Amino acid sequence: MSQFNWQQYLMDVDDIDPTPVLFGTDTNSAGPRGAQPDDRGTGLNKPRFFCTYCYELGARRVPTFRQKSDWKRHEKSFHETGLEWPCQLNGCVEVFTRVRDLVAHCQSRHGRAPHRDEIVEMPVPPKCVFACGFVNCRNLSASWETRCDHVAMHMRNEHANSSDWRYNRKLLNLLKHCDINPTWRKVKAHWCISRGLESLDTSQLAWDCKETRTMLQQLECHTFGENLEAFLFEVLWLGSPTQSQIDFTEQPQMPTILDGPSPNPPPGAG
């Protein structure tokens, strides 16, 4: 927890813009860093880059961008700020990545601006892995830069749009990280044994984006503590739609994993 910058807060309050709209029309967008050559020349004026975070959060209008640089700037300055502000009012559990969004939330949801001591800035640990969320993609990136290049590639070259983006895919990809996957497979096997199931179809798992915010962060920062197994059981539990009632045996084409992890899982498994 770091010292709160009151001057910055006042500036932010003057500049509340909780509802991002279409950013691609910004004529100042070719700022100092300018448009990348690869951002131009195809697709004419059609915005191809959409904010994956706004989409996941269920924004009424997902911002789209013509320039990769504008898209990247938005995702960074709105969603990957490296800081967060939990709402402290009335037992609320919402968390924001910008102080102005917290203030706007307090005003609209709780009917008043937060007091000075109700604004607590929390640093997010550095993220060591980022996952792609496009269906059928299993990509993990070790840095924000490579992640952005990768995700932008789908949007630019494959014209992938928000209907192809899955929060669940992002989470499942994070579970494929080599430090996590062997334990994840073990946990899935135990889950099946304890429920008398032959196998577990992970495509039937579904996580709520807001409910699992901290969990996703732990998977990106590798801050799940000493007991990875217990952590992954919780991940599985939260992703199970009816939390243990679902019949996973209706997917006979899935490979059986009771023999423990195999050294080279087939692409697309799990």
Positions touching Zn ion (CB under 5 A) are 51, 53-54, 78, 87, 89, 92, 94, 132, 134, 137, 139
- Quick one: 54 or 219, whose CB is closer to Zn ion? 54
| Nearest in space to 189 (alpha carbons), one of 253, 254, 137 | 254
Q: Is the four-CA dihedral 149, 164, 220, 268 of positive or negative sign?
A: negative
User: Smallest distance from the beta carbon of 159 to Zn ion, in angstroms?
Assistant: 14
User: Smallest distance from the beta carbon of 126 to Zn ion, in angstroms?
Assistant: 21
> Kind of pairing, strands 95-96 and 83-86?
antiparallel
- Quick one: 81 or 249, whose CB is closer to Zn ion? 81
User: Smallest distance from the beta carbon of 173 to Zn ion, in angstroms?
Assistant: 8
Residue 70 and residue 64: Cα distance in Å, rounded?
A: 9
User: Smallest distance from the beta carbon of 114 to Zn ion, in angstroms?
Assistant: 9
| Nearest in space to 216 (alpha carbons), one of 261, 169, 151 | 169
Residues 68 and 49: beta-carbon distance below 8 Å: yes
- Quick one: 78 or 224, whose CB is closer to Zn ion? 78
Residues 197 and 249: beta-carbon distance below 8 Å: yes
- Quick one: 51 or 119, whose CB is closer to Zn ion? 51
Name the helix (H) or strand (E) containing 72: helix 68-74
User: Smallest distance from the beta carbon of 86 to Zn ion, in angstroms?
Assistant: 9
Q: How would DSSP label each residue in 175-238?
A: TTSTTTHHHHHHHHHHHHHHHT-S---GGG----TTTTHHHHHHHHHT---S-HHHHHHHHHHH
User: Smallest distance from the beta carbon of 187 to Zn ion, in angstroms?
Assistant: 25
- Quick one: 197 or 216, whose CB is closer to Zn ion? 216
- Quick one: 26 or 247, whose CB is closer to Zn ion? 26
Residue 230 and residue 31: Cα distance in Å, rounded?
A: 47
User: Smallest distance from the beta carbon of 146 to Zn ion, in angstroms?
Assistant: 11
- Quick one: 129 or 137, whose CB is closer to Zn ion? 137
How many Å from the N-terminal Cα to the C-terminal Cα in the chain? 37
Residues 212 and 205: beta-carbon distance below 8 Å: no
